[in-house]
Chains A and B, each alone.
Chain A
Amino acid sequence: MGGLRGVRRIYAAFFLGLFGFLLWAGEFERLKGFEVGLFLQLDPLTALGGFLTSHTLYKGLALALLILIPTLFLGRFFCSWICPLGIVNQVLSHIFHRRRAVESWEENRYRPVYRVKYYLLVVLLVFAGLGSLQTGLLDPIALIYRSFTLSLLPAVDRAGGGGWFALPAVFHGGVLIGGVLLAILLANRLITRFWCRALCPLGALLGWCAQWSLWRIRRDVDRCNQCKQCLRACQGAADPDGALRHTECHLCMNCIEACGTQALHYGLAGSRSSIGRPLDLNRRRVVEVALAAVVAVPMTRSTLSPRSTPTPEVIRPPGSLPEAQFLARCIKCGLCMRVCPTNVLQPALLEAGFEGLWTPLLMNAVGYCEHHCVLCGQVCPTAAIRPLSVAEKVGAPPFTKPVRLGTAFFDRGRCLPWAMDVPCIVCEETCPTSPKAIWYETVAITSRDGRKVTLKRPFVQPELCIGCGICENKCPVTDLAAIRVSSVGESRSGDNRMLLNQQSGWIEGTIDTGLG
C-alpha cells in the first residue's frame, strides 16, 4: 500500500462506509435529518436527466456539479473513489483477479464492446430530452440503492441479520431488482469491472467529460520497459502500457503501484510522456442509436398507461406530481420505499406502463399511508414526490383541503355486514379523518336462522375520503379487502375525478396545493 492507490483505497472505504451508513439510517426511526439521498444528489446523470426532462436543477441535485466540474480537470475519479457500485465491483474484481499474466493481459485489454455504455447513455439522454426519465434504470447509484433497499437488505433482514427494517419488509417483484445487481456483481468473475467498463451510463458520461482532462495517468516512454505489469493491474481496460484511454480510466491508480520502473505517474504531462487516445466512438453509430431512441419514446407512450388513461391501481404517494411530471422526475431509486414506515410503497412492475417500471405505488394490501407521515416527499431527491408539510397533507390551516391519494369503494359482495350479516366496521374505526369518511346506517334484519340481528352497514362519503388505504389494509377480509382504494379523486390529477364538487380549479401542469 501507500501512494495514490493507498489514498484511493481510503477514500473508497470511506464512501462505501458512508453509503452503508446512509442505507442503515434510512429506516424511518433513525432518519433524524441525515441526508439519506446524498449519493443520489451527487450523481451527475440524475442531475442531467432531470434537467433535460424538467429544465431545472432541483435543490440538492446541484451537488452533482461537485463531481462534474472536477471531472473535467481530473478525469473519472468518481468511479473508483466514490461510486459505491464501482467500489464494490473493484473489490470483487480484485478477489476474482486472474493469477496468470497472459490471462490478465487478455482480460484487461480494451474491447470495442465497451462502447456500449456510450450508446446506452445516448439512449437515456434522448429519452430524457423527450420527457421520459429512464436514467434510473441503469444509473449505478439509483440501481444500487434500489437493489439494496428493495431486495438485498430485506433478504438479509429475513435471514436473521435484523435491524434493517422494523417490520419484515416485502417488495413487489423485489427479486428481479436484486437479481440485476447480483448479475452485475457476478460479471466481475468473467471480466474485471464488466459493468463499469461496458454498461455504466454514468461512467460513460464521466468518460465523455474526461476527454479534456488535464491531469491523467502519464507513462514516461523512456523509463517504460514494456513489462505490462500495469495492464495486469488495470481496472479500466485503459491501456496504460500504450496510449492511455483516459476516457476509460477510473483512476484506480493500480498501474502506478504495479510499475517496477516508476514510469507511471498521475499528473500533468512531462517532456517524455506518452500520448492519450481519444474517445473511441463512431459518430454514425451514435446518430443511429439516437434515432432509434427517438422512435422508441412515442412507442412506450402509445401503450396503455396512467399517462393516457387513469388506472385504478396506480395510487401515488402523497405530494406526487401529476403523472407526466412524476415520470419526468422519478429516478426509481426506492428511497421513498426505504423510509415509508408501513411498507405500503412498492415498486411498480408494469402497472404504470413501461415508463413507470419501479416507480412507487401504494399497495394497501401491504400497508397504508400513515395520516401524519410525510417522509417520502421529504427524502425524494428529485421532488417527483414534492415535500409536503403535515398541515398541507391533512388539510389543516392555512390549507383548506387535504391531499387525496384516491377514493375508497365498498365491495358489498364481500363486506361482512353487507353480504354476510356479520357485524364489523373495522374500516370505520380506523378511518383517520375527522369527521370520518366512512359512516354507517344501523339496520335490524332477520338472519337466515330467524335471529334478529342489528347491523351497522358502512358507506363512504367520497368528499371526505383521502384515499389513505388504512380501511383496505385493516379489513378482515384479508386476501381481497371488502373496501378498496382506487386512484380516482387523487389531488394531483385534474382528469381522474368523478364528482363535480371535487373540481379544484386545476390548470394543465399545475399542482393542486389545497390552498383556497
Chain B
Amino acid sequence: MARRSTTNPVLETEPLLSRRAFLGRAAGLTGVAAGLAVGGYVVYSDQPIRQGAVQVARFKDFRVAPDPLRPVMAVVRGTRVEAMVQESVGKLGGVARFIQRGDRVLLKPNVGWDRQPEQAANTGPELVEAMVRICREAGAASVWVTDVSLNDPRRCFARSGIEAATVAGGGQVRLPGRDDFVATEMGGKVLKVWPVARFFHEVDKVINLPIVKHHSLSGCTLAMKNWYGVIGGQRNRLHQSIHDSIVDLAAAVRPTLTVMDATRVLKRNGPTGGNPADVAREETIIASLDEVALDSFCLSFLDLAPEAVPFLALAEARGLGKVAWRDLNVVRSQVG
C-alpha cells in the first residue's frame, strides 16, 4: 500500500475521494460499527465474572447386595499375605461376589508417605499385589491403584513398593495429576463440594485397602480415614473438624469391599512413622463389608477404646455401620 513519496512531503496533497470510493468506505465503516454494537450487546454482562455452569459429579454406590447368610467380616491370621487375602475374601462369599468379568476396579491403598514398607506408614505392597492379582483372576478388565499422597506421589508409590506390586499383579498405577480432579458433591455435614480424583467416577468397583496406624488428632487412621486420599484441594482444613470429615467421607464413598492391612501396625508417631521400632507385627488381614465395625475391631491393635474415637459413634448414628462388631457375623481363621 505504502507508496514511496517522490515529492516533498510538506507540499504533498491528499487525493480527492470519488463518490464511489466515499460510499464504499462509508459502508465499510458502518459495517464495522454495527459489528461493534452487536458484539457489545452480546458480551454485555451485569456480573463482573462470566460464570459457566459447573458440572458436579456424584459418587456411585459401589456396594454389592447384602447377603444375610454370609459373614460381614472375616479376620485371618497368618504369615502368607496372599493366602490370607484369598481366605478372608473367600469367607465373605468369594471374589465372584464382588468382581464380575469385565469390571473396571479401583483399589485405594494408603500411599500417603514417602516411606518404605517396614515403616508401616503405607499399606503393605503384599496386600496390594494380592488384591490386584485376585481381581485380575476374577476377570476384571482393568485394575487401577490410586491415592492422593501427602509427600511427592511419585516417590510415595515408588518407595512404598506399591508401584512395583501393582505392576507385578497386573494392574496400573493412576497418579492423579493436576487435571485429574473433578468437583464432586460430598453431601456431608462439613464437606459439601470437593475436588475428587476422577478415577473414582470411571470405575465399576472400588476396594478400600487401608492400614492400621496411630494418628495424633483422630487417634487412629483406619478404613474410614483412608478416604482422605480420595479428595484433592486444601484438605488440610479437614483437621478442624476431623471426626465429622471422616464420617462425611465414609458416607460419600461406599466401597465394594474393604481389606485391612494389620500385618504391620504403626503404634506410635503416626501417621508418618519413620522408625521401625514404632511398628509391631500383628500378622492379620481383615476383609469387611462394614467399615465402622472394621475400624472398631482394629482399635484393639492400638489399645484404644471406641469412646476415645468419636468418629465411630458419629458414623453409626449416620447409619454407616455398627460399632459393636461382636453383634455381627464375624468369622476368624488362621492360614499357614
Contacts and interface: CB of A to CB of B under 8 A. Distances in A.
Interface string B178-196: 1000000000000000000
A29 interface: yes
Interface in A441-490: 456, 470, 474-476, 478
A423 B216 contact: no
Contact of B152 (A370, A422, A434): A370
B215 interface: yes
B274 A432 contact: yes
Contact of A166 (B154, B159, B236, B239): B154
A342 B156 CA distance: 13
Contact of B239 (A372, A429, A478): A429
A373 B152 CA distance: 10
Given A431-B272, A432-B272, A475-B236, A425 B217 contact: yes
Give the dominant DSSP class at B's interface. Answer: loop
Contact of B155 (A372, A433, A434): A372
B178 A168 contact: yes
B240 interface: yes
A429 B217 contact: yes
A29 B239 CA distance: 31
Contacts of B241: 423
Contacts of A434: 269, 272-275, 278
Contacts of B274: 371, 432-434
B151 A424 contact: no
A436 B240 contact: no
B242 interface: yes
In this complex, the member of B113, B178, B216 whose beta carbon has the largest number of chain A beta carbons within 10 angstroms is B216
A416 B278 CA distance: 29
B275 A426 contact: no
Contacts of A432: 113, 272, 274
Contacts of A371: 114, 151, 274
In this complex, the member of A373, A423, A475 whose beta carbon has the largest number of chain B beta carbons within 10 angstroms is A423
Interface string B234-245: 101101111000
Interface string B269-302: 1011111001000000000000000000000000
A430 interface: yes
In this complex, the member of B234, B274, B278 whose beta carbon has the largest number of chain A beta carbons within 10 angstroms is B274
Given A428-B217, A434-B275, 8 more contacts: A370-B114, A416-B240, A423-B242, A426-B236, A435-B275, A456-B217, A476-B239, A476-B240
5 contacts: A167-B178, A373-B152, A424-B240, A435-B269, A476-B239
Interface of B: 113-114, 150-152, 154-155, 159, 177-178, 215-217, 234, 236-237, 239-242, 268-269, 271-275, 278
